[in-house]
Amino acid sequence: MNSLRNKVQLIGNLGNDPEIVVLENGSKLAKFSIATNETYKNTSGEKVTDTQWHNIVAWGKTAEIVEKYLVKGKEVALEGKLINRSYETKEGEKRYVTEIKCNELLMLGK
């Protein structure tokens, strides 16, 4: 049951080509965002599509796969966990970010 405590599963499309960062030790970090869509009918009976954007980070071998195969528009299924972190801008402002650390990735579509 411990593996269910912080688990996210998403299917969506990449909003942009992934950003690849090579760290000093040679390991890779991939950053990208995916859009998920949910369609429903509102109280007037009109069809409404709600799009949510999710920031994804992938490390190591998963980042290498992202770099090699993923491009803007590609449909993917992924599994990971939520990560909350904060950082300070050059102007001294504190910013908060919620990301999904990708553990598993499945490429869908063509």
CATH code, 72: 2.40.50.140
* Model confidence at 3: pLDDT above 80: no
Work out how many domains the chain is built from and give that number: 1
Q: Look at 27-31, 39-43, 73-77 and tell me which has the smallest mean pLDDT.
A: 39-43
Q: What distance in Å separates the CA atoms of residue 27 and residue 64, rounded to the nearest whole number?
A: 9
Burial 49-69 (b: 16+ CB within 10 A, else e): eeeeebebbbbeebbeebbee
SS3 of the chain: CHHHCCCEEEEEEECCCCEEEECCCCCEEEEEEEEEEEEEECCCCCEEEEEEEEEEEEEHHHHHHHHHHCCCCCEEEEEEEEEEEEEECCCCCEEEEEEEEEEEEEECCC
Which residue do the tokens 């071998």 mark? Answer: 61
pTM, whole model, 2 decimals?
0.86
> What's the mean pLDDT in 59-65?
95
* Model confidence at 1: pLDDT above 80: no
Residue 36: count of CB within 10 angstroms of its CB: 13
How high is the mean pLDDT of the chain?
Answer: 93
* Model confidence at 68: pLDDT above 70: yes
User: What pLDDT is recorded for position 109?
Assistant: 78
* Model confidence at 2: pLDDT above 70: no
* Model confidence at 72: pLDDT above 80: yes
